Structure 1
Amino acid sequence: MDAFLKLQGKAKEEFYQAKYNYYKRFNLGILFVASVMFFILLVPDWQVAEQLSWQTLLIRSMVIIPLAVVVLAYRITSNYRIMSVISLVMVHAIIWGNIWAGSFMTDQSYVNEGFLFVSFILLLVAFSAPPFYAMVAQLGLIANILLADQLYHFPNLAVILSFNIQVILLLCLLDLVITGFYYDHYITRKKLEFALFHDPLTQVFNRRQLHKVMGQGHDLSFLSDAIAIVIMDVDHFKQVNDSYGHDEGDRILQFVADCIRHCLRGPDMLIRWGGEEFVAILFDCQPDQASRVAERIRTSVEKSVNGVCKITVSLGVAIYQGGDCFETIKKADQALYVAKHSGRNRVVCYEALDREALEAAGISGHADA
Structure 2
Amino acid sequence: MRWFFPTKLDPSKWQDFYQTKYQYHAKAFRWIVILMCLAEVSYFVSDCQTFGYINWKMLLPRTAILVPLILFLFFNKYHKGYIANIFFGYFLMHACMWCTIWAIYYLENRDYAREGFIVMHFGFLALGLAAPYYLSSILHAFIFLNIIVSNQFIHYEQYEMMLSLAVPLYLGIILFQKILENNYVDHYIDHKKLEALSTHDQLTQAYNRNILADLLIPGTTQLRKEFSQDTWFLLLDVDFFKKVNDTYGHEAGDVILTTIADCIHASIRKNDFCLRWGGEEFVIILQDITRMEAITIAERIRASIEQSDTTPAVTISVGVSQYKGADYHQAINDADAAMYTAKHSGRNRVVCYND
TM-score by length of 1: 0.82
Alignment CA distance shift 1:143-1:209 (3 Å): same
Counterpart for residue 246 of structure 1: 250
Q: What SS does structure 1 have at the residue aligned with 2:276?
A: strand
Deviation of 1:117 (Å):
1.3
Larger radius of gyration: 1
Tell me if the contact between 2:133 and 2:181 (Cα under 8 Å) persists in the aligned partners.
Answer: yes
Match of 1:363 in 2: none
Q: Secondary structure at the match of 1:351?
A: coil
**Superposition deviation, residue 90 in structure 1:** 1.1
Q: Tell me the secondary structure at the aligned position of residue 273 of structure 1.
A: strand
Partner of 1:47: 49
- Relative to structure 1, the CA distance from residue 140 to residue 249 in structure 2 (aligned partners, 3 Å threshold; closer, same or farther) is same
Residue of structure 1 in register with 2:121 after alignment: 119
2:209 alignment partner in structure 1: 207
Aligned mates of 1:214, 1:69 — CA distance in 2: 32
The verdict on how the C-alpha distance between 1:194 and 1:30 changes in structure 2, with shifts beyond 3 A counting, is same
Residue 312 (structure 1) aligns with: 315
Q: Give the deviation of 1:212 after TM superposition.
A: 4.7
Does the 8 Å CA contact 1:259/1:300 hold for their aligned counterparts? yes
Aligned letter for 1:132? Y
Match of 1:94 among 78, 96, 100: 96
Identity of aligned residues (%): 35
One-letter amino acid of the structure 2 residue matched with residue 275 of structure 1: G
Give the deviation of 1:183 after TM superposition: 3.4
Give structure 2 stretches of 5+ with no counterpart: none
Q: RMSD of the TM alignment (CA)?
A: 2.9
SS of structure 2 residue aligned to 1:317: strand
Deviation at residue 86 of structure 1 after TM alignment:
1.5
Distance 1:93 1:170, change over 3 A: same
CA offsets 1:258-284 (integer angstroms, 9 cap, x no match): 101211233332221101111223334
CA distances 1:148-200 after superposition (whole Å, capped 9, x unpaired): 43345445544432231111011011122222333333333333333333322
Report the count of equivalent residues: 350
State whether residues 230 and 280 of structure 1, in contact with CA within 8 Å, keep that contact through their aligned partners in structure 2.
yes
- Map of 1:337 onto structure 2: 340
Change (3 A) 1:113 1:220: closer
| Residues 97 and 120, structure 2, Cα contact 8 Å, conserved in 1 | yes
Aligned to 1:295: 299
Partner Cα distance (2:63, 2:216) in 1:
49
Cα–Cα, structure 1 residues 300 and 148, in superposed 2: closer, same or farther, change >3 Å? same
Measured at CA, do residues 180 and 298 of structure 1 come closer, stay the same or move farther in structure 2, by a change above 3 Å?
same
SS state of the match for residue 315, structure 1? strand
Q: For residues 120 and 219 of structure 1, what CA distance do their matches in structure 2 show?
A: 46
Aligned residue number for residue 57 of structure 1: 59
Once the two structures are superposed, what CA deviation does each residue of 1:93-140 show, in whole Å capped at 9, x if it has no partner? 111222222232232333222222110011112222222221122211
Structure 1 contact 318–329 (Cα < 8 Å) conserved: yes
